[in-house]
Copies of this chain bind each other. A is one copy, B any other.
């Protein structure tokens, strides 16, 4: 569906303005698809993201700030996402001995199994729904990165 139909508006000043709205809309579209796929494993996207990060460093455990630095949603409240993963027994949490301020987090066996299964489903759903070939996806990646270049972060 074109953006204008989706949000019933065509009141954009130019292509750049349209791109900002299109970008946010497309991200919601994507999150919606992935969230639905993850639901069968009882995971939210954010919980999945943390499990994926821990899988990447396994068997080395990570402290909270390392997880936070690798997460896509930079301002997520990582301790509370971990709370929920601990409650589901997907991760283990303990105080670091080297630096007692740090809380280390590592996958449990159940966590490893869950992230492996979830990864498959996410890959499958991604390929089924993203209607781009590799070349187009590469162009999209390049444009997104150019877009973010040289941002002066003013207004922050």
Q: Which residues of B contact A123 (CB under 8 A)?
A: 13, 17
Interface of A is mostly: helix
One of B15, B17, B141 near A22 (C-beta < 8 A) = B141
Cβ proximity bits A95-118 to B, threshold 8 Å, 1 near / 0 not: 000000000000000000000000
**Assembly stoichiometry (copies):** 2
Tell me whether A89 is interfacial, beta carbon within 8 Å. Answer: no
Q: How far is the CA of A12 from the CA of B65 in the complex (A)?
A: 22
CB nearest to A139 among chain B residues: B143
Which A residues are within 8 Å of any B CB, using their own CB?
Answer: 1-3, 7-9, 11, 13-34, 36-37, 53, 56, 69-75, 123, 125-132, 134-141, 143-156
8 example contacts (A-B, Cβ-Cβ < 8 A) are as follows A11-B56, A21-B72, A22-B145, A23-B26, A24-B27, A32-B156, A129-B151, A129-B152
